[in-house]
Amino acid sequence: MSPEPPNADVAVIGSGPGGAVTAMLCAQAGKNVMLIEEGDNLPLESAAHFSREELIQKYRNAGINVALGRTKMVYVEGRCVGGGSEVNRGLYHRTPDAVLDHWRAQFGVEDLTPDGMKPHFEACESIAQVQFLPGEVPLISSRLAKGADHLGWSCMEVPRLFAYAPSPDGVGRRQTMSETFVPRFVQAGGRLVANSRVDRIRRLGDRWRITARNSQSGDVRELSADYVFVACGAVHTPALLRRSGISRHVGDTLRMHPMMKVIAVFDDEVNVPGELEPVHQVKHFDPRFSMGCSMSKRPALALAMAAQRAHMDDIDRDWRRMAIYYVQSTSGQASVRNIPGFRDPLVRVRMGGEDLAELAEGLRRLCELLFAAGAVRIYTCTPGLPVLHSPADVAKLPETLDPGHANPTTMHLFSSCPMGENPDRCAADSHGRVHGVDRLSIADASLLCSPTVVNPQASVMAVAHRNAMHVIERGFR
């Protein structure tokens, strides 16, 4: 007779922003909780932020995941304890009121109002500090603000999940999940199970049986729990559910913020080693598209210049005068499906003519902004598009993007298992419980019904906090 598998009251699969918040709350509620993570448990300082080592250690597939379609899209996912919070910049926006209104009206999400969400945002913010830069902003960032001011466009400094108090490096410390919610989960008695990929979950009697595979050795073991929260991210949550025979409205409506980048060159130095990360965003054109600054270390510049290979040597000469900027929209839709014999699911993206035209308009507006900010040259990071030398050259950019060469990227993925009471659209109810399945909830960006328009991490954390509290108050029924 085979031994009973290790068991828990609650299993949370995935330790990113949604899973970490959920696991902490369940453990603090007195439950025996397992937090299961496919990736490694690594300290924040195991690799320099945005370094090659970090790509290898903490990103899925070293940061290269491709959504296939006529317009291909590279997307990025974290794969370590803390998930995407460990690799992103932690820019923090509460969910806009208009987005919450849309979710209530179109998806039937109940009890989702700005006033109702406020205590959940505040609870998360009290643990993961949200702060503005304490001093002058980096030159890369202030240039964006300068251009917006010149054009009369609205621009804002965005706070970050970052503690700017003194630290060993004299800068501060990112407030990732491994620094905030995961330690509190462990302090409350929770068990962290790292390097364990969950292949399947299935209901046996009144419990869930979880089949997990060691990410390094491949060894398989069984785990058991009364209640399961799936928080593997907007791609891998629907993949796991579909492998487990749960497919209604699962993986059909993946959404994203497609992003296009450019490299701007200025007369004077803006790329100063050691400066803090850029924090400004231009929100003038929301919800259609927004603009911001990217990290612009020398290796990142080289990667961004791949579409302009004839100018690669320019980086050696001018990199201190260069910075990367982006425009991102809310367009496009994708699906998630498993392929037998493959570890990762197939993501197929669809971007129509209106989607590509909107991104093209955003790209033109971004270049207009950067010339207003003092750029003397702009390298577009899209094959086939020209190098721009003056504001007049912006007219050379196309009215729409070639679907075969647009090559957008994204770090923001959501909406693959939307929540709500609309039976024609939603995989889970208004509080994340999977429709028609006992004691199974989703606790990540999959639930967010549509693009958040802003960086989504705050939305993920607050919605997870709201939903976990609801399940706890109902006695995990």
Catalytic residue list? 412
Amino acid at residue number 408? P
| 472 Cβ contact list (under 8 Å, min separation 6) | 25, 26, 29
Please tell me the distance from the alpha carbon of residue 131 to that of residue 469, in angstroms, as a whole number: 26
Answer for the pair 94, 121: CB distance below 8 angstroms, yes or no: yes
Helix (H, G, I), strand (E, B) or coil at 436: coil
Answer for the pair 251, 335: CB distance below 8 angstroms, yes or no: yes
Angle at Cα 336 formed by Cα 81 and Cα 33, nearest 5°?
35
Please tell me the distance from the alpha carbon of residue 402 to that of residue 360, in angstroms, as a whole number: 10
Q: How far is CA 394 from the centre of its chain?
A: 31
Please tell me the distance from the alpha carbon of residue 269 to that of residue 153, in angstroms, as a whole number: 24
From 198, 180, 230, select the one nearest 38 (Cα to Cα): 198
- Sheet arrangement for strand 173-174: 130-131, 160-163, 173-174
- Give the C-alpha distances (Å, rounded to integers) separating 315 from 8, 52, 422: 54, 18, 52
